[in-house]
Amino acid sequence: MALNIERKVSSDETVISVAGDVDLYTSPELRKAVLEAVPGAAGRVAVDLSGVNYIDSSGIATLVEGLRSAHKHDKAFVLVTPSPPVMQVLELSKLDNVFEVRTTS
């Protein structure tokens, strides 16, 4: 399943909404979107994962890279409403407490 990525910019937040499967094939697209959004974002960088059906370790690694890049640029990095499959992989990876998670968009 292809990945659908949308970016919405407001004065205090850049929201990247992701829908579909994030795997070895599609994660480079997410990586590009996240790493491009971080440096120029006006405020927080929020990644909406409510529409993600599946995520693998390359997708999780991309989120870790996004978080690190946001910290480097002194910006907050938030995961918005991760879907159950995303939460399950974050928990399995022991990374569920590393990310700030917001449950409403």
Partner 1 sequence: MRTQEKDLRLTVRSDPYLLASIRSLVRGWLESWNVSSEAVHQVVLAIDEACANAIRHAYEGRKDRCVELTMHAEPEYFEFQVSDQGVPCPSECAEYRPLKIPDSEDLRPGGLGVQLMYEVFDEVQFCPGPTIGNCVTMKLMRRKRGI
Q: Which stretch binds partner 1 (CB under 8 A): 7-15, 43-51, 72-80, 86-94?
A: 86-94
Using the rule CB under 8 A, is 76 a contact of partner 1? no
Our CB check for partner 1 shows the closer of 12 and 74 to be 74
Using the rule CB under 8 A, is 57 a contact of partner 1? yes
Query: For helices 57-72 and 27-40, what crossing angle results, to 10°?
Result: 10
Q: What size, in residues, is the chain?
A: 105
- CA–CA dist 49, 52 (Å, integer): 5
Our CB check for partner 1 shows the closer of 38 and 89 to be 89
- Taking the CA atoms of 63, 21, 84 and 7 in sequence, report the sign of the dihedral they define: positive
Our CB check for partner 1 shows the closer of 13 and 96 to be 96
